Structure 1
Amino acid sequence: MATADQVKALVRSHGEGDDARFYSVALQVAAHAARSGQGKFAQEMRELVDGLRAHTAAHLGRPVPVARPRGELADLLTVAYPDSRLTDLCLEAGVRQRLDRVLLEQRQQDRLREKGFHPLRRLLLVGPPGTGKTMTANVLAGELRLPLFTIRLDGLITKMMGETAAKLRLIFDALAQTRGVYLFDEVDALAGERAIGNDVGEIRRVLNSFLQFLDQPDSPSLLVAASNHPQLLDRALFRRFDLVVDYPLPTSDVARAVIRNRLATMSPRRWAWDRVDQAAAGLSHAEITIACELAAKEAILSGQQHVTTATLVAALQERHNATPSAS
């Protein structure tokens, strides 16, 4: 049965007109009942919530105002309106082509739907830290002129796994009702391999819930999940995504593009690119950008008009020294 706090939360959310919070608490009650062996009551509660949601949507004819999240959603989502563009990213040609395809299908989705097809809408981005995965979500939102909703894992993952599943449901309801780009960063926190020996049953149930929500019917939103550790992800997760994009460390050509972009106003007539390439090898896009900023500030404070090769190489080497060994 519901706890005293849950009853008070139900009454308060009803009085404030916060439907999202009301449904979330009701599902928490259902989860608590299921753990207590009251399976029939829990199922009836969930069906009641589903029915109320459908009835409300049919009569109001408008989505839950996720762009101004209230109550429970305010703890689960942060909202931004990026103005980033694809030209802001320096990427491998293969990655760029995949993102171009995503944008094309999203922009032409009406033509695809007329013929019974759906645009690419579930993306899994994997690769080392600092290679542009999170920035990609910003760029997709900026290019499509959509809000970017970033899921706050600290608000989503709770000690009570039944509550986590209920909160996941809230997020996927929002995803279906309000079009946007929804970013699950560091998704391995939710979708770790189920076969790991120290896993617990409740965590597996959260993963199963996540997989089920990913299987929901087509929605107007773009879901982007990112992971620095794809080897930790459950294998079943990969099948749920329309596109898996691998973000490698930058090649010398990409590294040069990052350097030229960041130091466009302080570039000399020429750099000794062989030395620069050697110093930049093995660094991520983000680390190269940080090195460029360090070199630029060093030049400015030294009264120089341009960043010399020696200054840039020294900054790149400093980033290598600051990066933990992979061993």
Structure 2
Amino acid sequence: MAAADQIKSLIKSFAEGDDSRFYATAMQIAASEARNGHHALAEELKNLIDKAKAGKSTPLGVVKSFPVSASQKELNDLLELVHPNEKLKGMVLIPELEKSLKRVLDEQKKLDVLRQNNLFPRKNLLFIGPPGCGKTMSARVLASELGLPLFIIRLDGLISRYMGESIAKLRLIFDSMRQFRAIYLFDEFDSIGTTRSQGNDVGEIKRVLNTFLLQIEKDDSSSLIIAATNYPESLDKALFRRFDDIIQFPLPDKEKIYQLYKKELSEFKLSKKFNLQKISQESVGLSYAEIHKICEDIIKDYLVYGASEVSEDRLILYAHQRKNPY
């Protein structure tokens, strides 16, 4: 049966006329029933949801703000709602990273079993690694695989120059985590997680960090918190022990670059035109996102200028330009 929090959220969203929250919660219930082996009920719920959504003039995907009551309108400036559909099997990852993400998924899917034994699944995660190596994408994948919405915290809306205002906003976010199960992503977390010993830091940011440490310590919600940073060395040391798991996102090695080139270029049958082993060696040092951009560029060349303008040398040139942009 649906969890009490889900039922309360369903009723509350219905009373407030909040379609986005209502459908998201209903889908959570359907996914939960499927995991419990009630496949017929889950399918029936899904069909009812699809029919209900089809009868609405405003599709779910256009909702861009967080569904809140009148007293919490400020959350609209703090949280960006995303409905991802990426899957773990679609990512090119090193085995250790894939295993870490799968462990989070496996524990979350056994949430009830763990709680019955006074244990809790991994839910507070710190993602560390260079830009473009899959931190945000992995947050999207976790949300998609678990059937949960993803809320991206707008840090520019969180930090205020007025004393105490940022702290109040942060508490609103943590209150939302208890009211509505989802994945909450603090991207570029170093902007608020910077070490408190830095003398040139802004006092308000130090107070926000202290509040974050306190809130995450006492967080008892079913939501997942993900903090992502490119600069782990700048984080306050007290943060690391507050997370259930610290997951590293390294740059791809030659083999992973090769797999990504092969995957990205195979749809247009371009992979056979190139020596991907050679190209992969020339691309070592680039991120997953940069490899993806190179593939996009070569595919656009193919579509716009024709096959005669697509060559191995040109693809290597694009790789070198990415490695040395100046």
Coarse TM-score class (shorter-chain normalised): 0.7 to 0.9
> 1:69 deviation in Å?
3.7
The aligned residue for residue 68 of structure 1 is: 67
The aligned residue for residue 55 of structure 1 is: none
Whichever of the two has the greater Rg, that structure is 1
Measure, in 2, the Cα distance between the counterparts of 1:292 and 1:186: 26
The aligned residue for residue 251 of structure 2 is: 249
**Alpha-carbon displacement from aligned partner over 1:261-317 (angstroms, at most 9, x marks no partner):** 211222243632342122211000000100111111122223118954223212211
Measure, in 2, the Cα distance between the counterparts of 1:239 and 1:109: 22
* Alignment length (residue pairs): 265
| Equivalent pair of 2:135/2:249 in contact (CA under 8 Å) | yes
Report the residue type matching 1:292 in the other structure: C
The aligned residue for residue 297 of structure 1 is: 300
| Equivalent pair of 2:153/2:187 in contact (CA under 8 Å) | yes
After TM superposition, where is structure 1 displaced by more than 3 Å over at least 4 residues in a row?
60-67, 305-308
Measure, in 1, the Cα distance between the counterparts of 2:153 and 2:135: 15
Report the residue type matching 2:300 in the other structure: K
Report the residue type matching 1:301 in the other structure: V
> 1:259 deviation in Å?
1.2
Report the residue type matching 1:68 in the other structure: P
The aligned residue for residue 318 of structure 1 is: 321
**1:103-118 paired onto structure 2 within 5 Å:** 103-118=105-120
**1:86-105 paired onto structure 2 within 5 Å:** 86-105=88-107
- For residue 324 of structure 2, give the secondary structure of its aligned residue in structure 1: helix
Residue 271 of structure 1: which of 254, 274, 296 is its match? 274
The aligned residue for residue 120 of structure 1 is: 122
**Alpha-carbon displacement from aligned partner over 1:187-213 (angstroms, at most 9, x marks no partner):** 111110111121244332221101001
Measure, in 1, the Cα distance between the counterparts of 2:263 and 2:308: 17
| Equivalent pair of 1:268/1:308 in contact (CA under 8 Å) | no
Measure, in 1, the Cα distance between the counterparts of 2:166 and 2:106: 34
Structure 1 residues 274 and 210: CA distance shift in structure 2, 3 A: same
| Equivalent pair of 2:264/2:292 in contact (CA under 8 Å) | yes
Structure 1 residues 128 and 177: CA distance shift in structure 2, 3 A: same
- For residue 215 of structure 1, give the secondary structure of its aligned residue in structure 2: helix
The aligned residue for residue 262 of structure 2 is: 260
**Alpha-carbon displacement from aligned partner over 1:157-193 (angstroms, at most 9, x marks no partner):** 1111410000000000001110001000001111101
| Equivalent pair of 1:161/1:203 in contact (CA under 8 Å) | no
Measure, in 1, the Cα distance between the counterparts of 2:210 and 2:202: 13
Unaligned runs of at least 5 residues, structure 1? 1-57
The aligned residue for residue 281 of structure 1 is: 284
| TM-score, normalised with respect to structure 1 | 0.76
The aligned residue for residue 34 of structure 2 is: none
- For residue 113 of structure 2, give the secondary structure of its aligned residue in structure 1: helix
The aligned residue for residue 156 of structure 2 is: 154
Report the residue type matching 1:119 in the other structure: P
- Cα RMSD over matched residues? 2.2
The aligned residue for residue 187 of structure 1 is: 189
- For residue 90 of structure 1, give the secondary structure of its aligned residue in structure 2: coil
**Alpha-carbon displacement from aligned partner over 1:25-82 (angstroms, at most 9, x marks no partner):** xxxxxxxxxxxxxxxxxxxxxxxxxxxxxxxxx9x98589775246101011110111
Identity over the aligned pairs, expressed in percent? 43
Residue 140 of structure 2: which of 123, 138, 141 is its match? 138
The aligned residue for residue 224 of structure 1 is: 226
Measure, in 1, the Cα distance between the counterparts of 2:104 and 2:315: 35
Structure 1 residues 72 and 268: CA distance shift in structure 2, 3 A: closer
Unaligned runs of at least 5 residues, structure 2? 1-7, 22-65
Structure 1 residues 213 and 301: CA distance shift in structure 2, 3 A: same
**1:46-57 paired onto structure 2 within 5 Å:** none
Measure, in 1, the Cα distance between the counterparts of 2:163 and 2:287: 35
> 1:138 deviation in Å?
0.7
| Equivalent pair of 2:86/2:141 in contact (CA under 8 Å) | yes
The aligned residue for residue 27 of structure 2 is: none
The aligned residue for residue 12 of structure 1 is: none
Range with greater deviation from structure 2 (85-94 or 110-119): 85-94
Measure, in 1, the Cα distance between the counterparts of 2:292 and 2:309: 16
The aligned residue for residue 237 of structure 2 is: 235
Measure, in 2, the Cα distance between the counterparts of 1:88 and 1:215: 34
Instruction: Tell me whether 1:198 sits opposite 2:197 in the alignment.
Output: no
> 1:255 deviation in Å?
0.8
Measure, in 1, the Cα distance between the counterparts of 2:155 and 2:312: 42
| Equivalent pair of 1:299/1:311 in contact (CA under 8 Å) | no
